[in-house]
A and B are shown apart, each in its own frame.
Chain A
């Protein structure tokens, strides 16, 4: 009972303190929460998702990572990335540093478009600019492969999402945060219910991972799906599970959510693509 009362107090604190708090203050509260909840987990280890807190599944996962199931995807992604478009240009021409080691710059707030922009969107933006059709955001395929390759070239880079002092940027962040903490669906869960308050507890055989370090390792190869799954597909998976209607990949709700979640993961290394159950 005591722990329930503590939980309620924490939730109330979260909402009240952060109602007018800056993103930086949110970040501090968020990190503090996980530090208290998992005193034995090193901050840098949160990039490993549930394996940062569940030693019993970690060993199995580490042996999977010895022969990564996403290796072929990285190779295919590299080939696609380096294949010129019909007009002779390549993806490299669209990105900073030729597109190498830049996963950690995403998502960012584009002050001209007044929107959060993700890596997957910029990949399609690049195609459009060069007269190519956009790639599908669903079911793995070339988009996930290219994204996986670009994450791979960024391994070890530190996430440092900045929120410009711009009302629209702060609004986008706030909308992402609000979605994260709002109960939705027939089963009435928020993302935070599972990934903040009940992280580490058991839901049947599943343990929801800490809500810090999620975007570091996406896209992730899910053995249950037998393919790469993008971050937005994973959002949809969790929303389906709570019987809420998922949004379309890359729509504003998900991009804002990714903005909030990635800001909360500032300071962690990119280690994508990852592998998961």
Chain B
């Protein structure tokens, strides 16, 4: 019984902690996406409740459904010129505008859209 309780507590804490981490990733991802010095995705994409959105990229909606493979989404943000050599979208990862880690957080956020 005691062991069961302890396991349950540990599991519970782990779960909470895990969820907490993801929630903060999402939060941070949103900040990175909106920050003019970081992703500045709003310059070109309509996103969520972002104000003064640009319109030269497609609206970022239904992301999980449209990009079930995270790697594809990652590649588009890391280096869009791979898919479209003349892409208007900056190669955020390749040119060191944002880090791998930051892109992953942005992706967590995009998956909530």
Given A188-B81, A198-B56, also A204-B43 (CB < 8 A): yes
Cβ of B42 under 8 Å from chain A: yes
One of B6-14, B47-55, B99-107 contacting the partner: B47-55
Q: Mark B36-74, 1 if CB is under 8 A from A, else 0.
A: 000000111000000011111000000000000000000
In angstroms, how far is the closest chain B Cβ from the Cβ of A186?
5
Please, how many angstroms separate the alpha-carbon atoms of A9 and B96 in the complex?
A: 29
In angstroms, how far is the closest chain A Cβ from the Cβ of B75?
16
Cβ of B88 under 8 Å from chain A: yes
Point out the residues of chain A lying under 8 angstroms from B81, CB to CB: 188
Q: Are A4 and B84 in contact (CB under 8 A)?
A: yes
In angstroms, how far is the closest chain B Cβ from the Cβ of A268?
26
Give the A interface residue count (CB, 8 A).
16
Please, how many angstroms separate the alpha-carbon atoms of A187 and B42 in the complex?
A: 15
Q: Are B54 and A204 in contact (CB under 8 A)?
A: yes
Q: Which of A1-42 contact B (CB under 8 A)?
A: 4, 7-8, 11
Point out the residues of chain B lying under 8 angstroms from A7, CB to CB: 86
Please, how many angstroms separate the alpha-carbon atoms of A136 and B54 in the complex?
A: 37
Give the B interface residue count (CB, 8 A).
17
**Nearest-CB residue, chain B, relative to A201:** B56
In angstroms, how far is the closest chain A Cβ from the Cβ of B38?
12
Q: Are B52 and A188 in contact (CB under 8 A)?
A: no
Q: Mark B14-52, 1 if CB is under 8 A from A, else 0.
A: 000000000000000000000000000011100000001
In angstroms, how far is the closest chain B Cβ from the Cβ of A101?
40
Cβ of A86 under 8 Å from chain B: no
Cβ of A72 under 8 Å from chain B: no
* B residues with CB within 8 A of A: 42-44, 52-56, 81, 84, 86, 88, 90-91, 95-97
A-B contact pairs, 14 of them (CB 8 A): A7-B86, A8-B84, A186-B97, A187-B90, A188-B90, A188-B91, A198-B88, A201-B55, A201-B56, A202-B54, A202-B55, A204-B42, A204-B54, A205-B52
Nearest 6 A/B pairs, CB to CB? A201-B56, A187-B90, A202-B54, A202-B55, A203-B54, A204-B52
